[in-house]
Every structure is written in C-alpha cells, then in structure tokens.
Amino acid sequence: MIIGIDPGLEGGIAVIRPDGESRAAIMPVVGKEIDVKALMAFISLVEPTMVVVEKLGVRPGQSAQSGATSGTNYGLLLGVIQALGYPLRITRPQEWKAKVLKGTKKDKDAAINHVRRAYPGVDLTPGRKRVPHDGIADAVCIAEFGRQLMAKGVE
C-alpha cells in the first residue's frame, strides 16, 4: 500500500491499495498543528510499502510566521514517518504532476478531475464541504505517483 501526502494544514493524506482502491482524508490537524497522534494512527493502520510526501515550498507572500508554522508541521510529518520506519520519498510538485497529470494544465482542477476519473470512490467533499478539497485530490495524485514508481521497481 502506498500513502501520498499533500503536507500542510489544508493538505490531505491518501492510500492506494494494491487492488487499486483508494481512500483519502483531510490532513488531521488540531488548531494550527498537524495532529501527530491521528497521523501516526492512520499511517500505522495502513502499514504502507512507501510514503510519498510533496516537498514543502515557500509560497509567494507567505509571512515569516506562516512559513515557520509550515516548516514545523512539515518536520513533524517527516519525523512521524521516519520514526515509524516506513520508506519515505519526497517529491517536488513538478515531478509528480509531470507523471500523473501529463497532458493537462497540471493545476488543482486537473488533479480533481484525475481523481474523479481514476478513483471515483474517493470522497473529495468530506463532511459539509461543497467544493472538492484540492488537498485530498493532490494527496491521491501523489500516492498514484508512488504507485507508478513502485510498478517500475523504483523506490
């Protein structure tokens, strides 16, 4: 099983099973921090073959405080995965989008449309959401990128 993670407080976490089924959720958070216990429980329950995490980047116009919070959460996320002992691959957005969203604009809508088409069982509007959650869509696409790598024997 492969886990894909779009880090950040508005991100998502997704699992693709060997049979191609996928499930996904909004990144578990408490306040402005990743809920480490919930994240550990999710990952441990899945027992993944690989965890693929999108590399954190600085957003234009992001405040120093916001950048520090993002960096802290990213460090917690990577620390949890490494502490649990699962293989970790960090990928740049350009890398996974070039493979999974090839032939599209490679934007949020492309990721949402890909998930709707390839993984129709994934709930992109959990809870009371009316618009698709792009963090969940990205997480599924990141997991799909990991699945493609594993299929080629790349770790």
pLDDT for 96 equals: 98
Do 144 and 118 contact (CB within 8 A), yes or no?
yes
- The separation between CA 92 and the C-alpha centre of its own chain, rounded to angstroms, equals 12
The structure's pTM equals: 0.94
The pLDDT value given to residue 67: 78
Q: How many CB atoms lie within 10 A of CB 154?
A: 10
Residue-level pLDDT at 115 = 97
Enumerate residue ranges in the chain where pLDDT < 70. Answer: 155
Per-residue model confidence as pLDDT tens digits over 74-105: 999 999 999 999 999 999 999 999 999 999 99
pLDDT of residue 12: 96
CA–CA separation, 17 and 86 (whole Å)? 16
The pLDDT, as a whole number, for residue 155 is 66
Instruction: Write the DSSP symbol of residue 137.
Output: H
**Which pLDDT value is given to residue 141?**
98
CATH architecture of 2-48+64-151: 2-Layer Sandwich (3.30)
Amino acid, single-letter form, for residue 73: N
